[in-house]
Amino acid sequence: MERRGIKFGVYIPEDIAMELEDIMKSMGIDNKSKVIQEALRVFVLENKWYFTKSVAGSIAILYNHDVDEVDEKLTDIQHEYIDIIKASMHVHLDEKKCMLLIAVKGESSKIKELIGKLHTIRGVLLIRHVLLSLED
């Protein structure tokens, strides 16, 4: 049995729609449906890990290293999760900002816990993660 698509309407704010048009035009893309389908596939892939047990990926942390003890706290948390952290890299971005990149592999519950603890550290400005399910 062939699977068929479902057609539905989506509200997109004007500023996003205009940016989408500009980017599509500069990339030579003329099919909005394909772009939206690809964006939805990425969304599903990036968020499927929440519902699976085994995941791998990266966590990027942007932080102000001038805040008292932020580096020490980030290091301490990494030591707490040494079983799921496979590698990390520290990048100096400017006089005040640094980025910490952490590669992880393990149980999703433990990775969620790690991300939660990272969010509690004073001086952390932004956390972005790309985590993918290792299960089919």
Distance, CA of 47 to CA of 49 (rounded, Å): 5
**Binding site residues, as ranges?**
79, 90, 92, 98
**Binding site residues for Ni(2+), as ranges?**
79, 90, 92, 98
Q: 62 pairs with which residues across the strands?
A: 99, 126
Q: Residue 39: which region, alpha, beta or left (left: phi > 0; alpha: psi -120 to 50)?
A: alpha
Q: 2 pairs with which residues across the strands?
A: none
Among candidates 103, 70, 79, which has minimal Cα distance to 89? 103
Distance, CA of 38 to CA of 46 (rounded, Å): 12
* SS3 (DSSP) at 16: helix
Distance, C-alpha 20 to centroid of its chain: 21
